[in-house]
């Protein structure tokens, strides 16, 4: 997207996602209570800093419609951020996430699901931030899967639809400023599920020239793919053979708030991404996978010199990602 040569790398596939932790599970069927604690990082900046995760999940399975419901609380204790107000207890990025999730099959061929979560805590967005700030944010995920053709056609097609929303911050008080007051941008915590190969890693591992990496900010780019975003996903899969599965996603993205207060042209359609994949289960222990993704930038990347109010203007280009992998299970 930035038009510059980049070294071959895929950090999103090699990022560390396993940590030392303690987990306790109480199974009182149909209730299940799970609690965890994990130390993520320790003593990166000073002797008493650290990054810890606490969490509790309560799940219930219903007798009808394959229904299930969950309620959860996760607390990220983040004392490692480099802030101006180190001696103040609020000089941290502590995040509490409380959410509800549920799913059920109203009929045998349809699954519907929904999840909503809210966040509160403290926020430090910049190394030079002098004011204590609180955060209040939210996220929503609703969708469904249709299996009407699965038993009717030999290739077992499935179709899906999903809508995701992550709250964002207004451009006059965003992560580029040293502002005050409530911060409304969603924090991704330790995200596992992603629905696109490229867009949802912008601001985490990859950056665009129009909204570049900012080293002094906690969230590193204005156009990051994990907050301030509406996302619509159309998905499908085919199984031409028992050992081969083909998948495809059409992702469409809009931002909630402008990426830069200097021009409202930075608010609107973010882009379209098409992702396809194929998996071949060669044996029970060995499988081969190849995926390809193409992200086409939207209107927010097509700024013009007449209305940029001092912003640099770049010519956007599509981003491509192709990854092949082999999985061996022992």
Name the 3-class secondary structure at 300: helix
> Is 35 among the domain residues?
yes
- Count: domains in the chain: 1
Instruction: Please work out, in degrees rounded to the nearest 5, the angle formed at the alpha carbon of residue 231 by the alpha carbons of 228 and 232.
Output: 165
> Is 211 among the domain residues?
yes
Instruction: Name residues whose C-beta falls within 8 Å of residue 307's C-beta, 6 or more positions apart in sequence.
Output: 263, 265
> Is 1 among the domain residues?
no
> Is 5 among the domain residues?
no
> Is 4 among the domain residues?
no
Q: Terminal CA-to-CA distance of the chain, rounded, Å?
A: 39
For residue 223, give the CATH number of its domain: 2.40.160.100
Q: Which of 247, 161, 160, 233 has the alpha carbon at shortest distance from 200?
A: 233
Q: Which residue has the tokens 């207004």?
A: 170
> Is 307 among the domain residues?
yes
Query: What is Dmax (Cα atoms) for the chain?
Result: 65
> Is 309 among the domain residues?
yes
Structural domain range at position 253: 11-328
Strands (E), 169-268: 229-241, 244-254
The token pair that represents 74 in the structure block = 């996760």
The pLDDT tens digits along the chain (330 residues) read 544 445 556 677 766 666 778 999 999 999 999 999 998 877 655 666 678 899 999 999 999 999 999 999 999 988 766 544 445 544 678 899 999 999 999 999 999 999 999 999 988 877 667 677 889 999 999 999 999 999 889 999 999 999 999 999 876 554 444 567 788 999 988 888 889 999 988 888 888 888 877 766 677 788 889 999 999 999 999 999 999 999 999 999 999 988 887 777 888 999 999 999 999 999 999 999 999 999 999 998 887 655 555 566 778 889 999 999 999 988
- Residue 108 backbone zone (phi > 0: left; psi -120 to 50: alpha; other: beta): alpha
> Is 207 among the domain residues?
yes
């Amino acid at each position: 997207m930035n038009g510059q040569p980049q070294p071959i790398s895929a950090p999103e596939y090699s990022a560390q996602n396993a940590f030392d932790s303690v987990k306790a599970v109480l199974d009182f069927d149909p209730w299940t209570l799970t609690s965890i604690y994990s130390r993520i990082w320790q003593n990166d900046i000073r002797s008493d800093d650290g990054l810890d995760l606490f969490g509790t999940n309560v799940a219930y399975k219903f007798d009808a419609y394959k229904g299930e419901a969950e309620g959860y609380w996760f607390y990220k204790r983040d004392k490692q951020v480099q802030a101006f107000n180190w001696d103040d207890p609020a000089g941290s990025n502590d995040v509490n996430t409380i959410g509800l999730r549920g799913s059920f099959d109203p009929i045998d061929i349809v699954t519907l699901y929904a999840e909503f979560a809210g966040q509160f805590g403290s926020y430090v967005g910049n190394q030079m931030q002098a004011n204590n700030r609180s955060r209040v944010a939210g996220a929503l995920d609703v969708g469904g899967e249709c299996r009407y053709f699965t038993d009717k056609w030999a290739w077992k097609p499935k179709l899906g639809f999903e809508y995701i929303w992550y709250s964002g911050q207004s451009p006059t008080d965003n992560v580029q400023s040293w502002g005050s007051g409530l911060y409304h941008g969603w924090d991704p915590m330790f995200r596992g599920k992603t629905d696109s190969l490229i867009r949802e890693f912008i601001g985490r591992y990859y950056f665009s020239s129009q909204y570049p990496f900012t080293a002094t900010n906690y969230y590193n780019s204005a156009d990051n793919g994990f907050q301030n975003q509406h996302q619509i996903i159309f998905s499908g899969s085919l199984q031409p053979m028992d050992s081969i599965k083909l998948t495809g996603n059409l992702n469409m993205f809009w931002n909630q708030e402008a990426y830069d207060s200097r021009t409202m042209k930075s608010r609107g359609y973010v882009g379209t991404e098409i992702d396809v994949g194929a998996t071949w289960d060669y044996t029970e222990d060995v499988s081969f996978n190849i995926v390809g993704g193409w992200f086409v930038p939207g209107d927010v990347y097509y700024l013009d010199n007449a209305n940029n109010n001092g912003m640099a203007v770049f010519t956007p280009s599509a981003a491509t990602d192709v990854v092949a992998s082999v999985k061996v299970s022992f």
